[in-house]
Amino acid sequence: MNLNQVTLSSLDVEVSIAFYQKMGMLLIVRSLPHYARFLCPNGDATFSVHMVNELPHGNTAWIYFECDDLDTTIQQLLAKGITIDEQPEDKPWFWREARLKDSDNNQIILYTAGPNRKDPPWKVK
C-alpha cells in the first residue's frame, strides 16, 4: 500500500491554489470552484484541496512536507510573503520543524528529519 494523496478542506479553492503554488507545489488539476490537485516538487506525492461550505472544527489534519534544506525553504517562503508561525526549531524527536497555516487555517509543518524520518532510536523492531 502507498499513500496516494492528502486532501484538505478549503472555503476558496482559488485562494488555496495561489497559496500552495507560492509554496512550490505544481498545479496538475484545476476543477474550479470545487477542487485542485498538486504534485509535490520532490517525489511522486500529490496533495489536493476541495471546496466546503464550512471548515472542520477542532484539531484537524496536520500536513507534513519534507524539505531538504528547511532553513533555506523558510527564508524563500518569507520572501514570498508567507507568514511562518514557528521558525525552524530542533525538536526532541530529532526532527527540525517550522509551522505555518494555509489560507484556510490548516496546520502545515515543514521539516527535515534525515535518517530519523523512518529510523528514530525508538523505532519498533
Asked if 45 and 7 count as a contact pair (C-beta separation under 8 A), the reply is no
The model's pLDDT over 30-45, given as tens digits with 9 standing for 90+, comes to 999 999 999 999 888 9
118-to-3, 44, 49, 61, 113 alpha-carbon distances in Å: 15, 18, 27, 20, 9
DSSP state of 51: E
The model's pLDDT over 2-30, given as tens digits with 9 standing for 90+, comes to 778 899 999 999 999 999 999 999 999 99
Pairing of strands 86-90, 35-39: unpaired
pLDDT of residue 109: 96
- Alpha-carbon gap, residue 51 to 118, rounded angstroms: 33
| CATH superfamily of this structure's domain 5-52+60-115 | 2,3-Dihydroxybiphenyl 1,2-Dioxygenase, domain 1 (3.10.180.10)
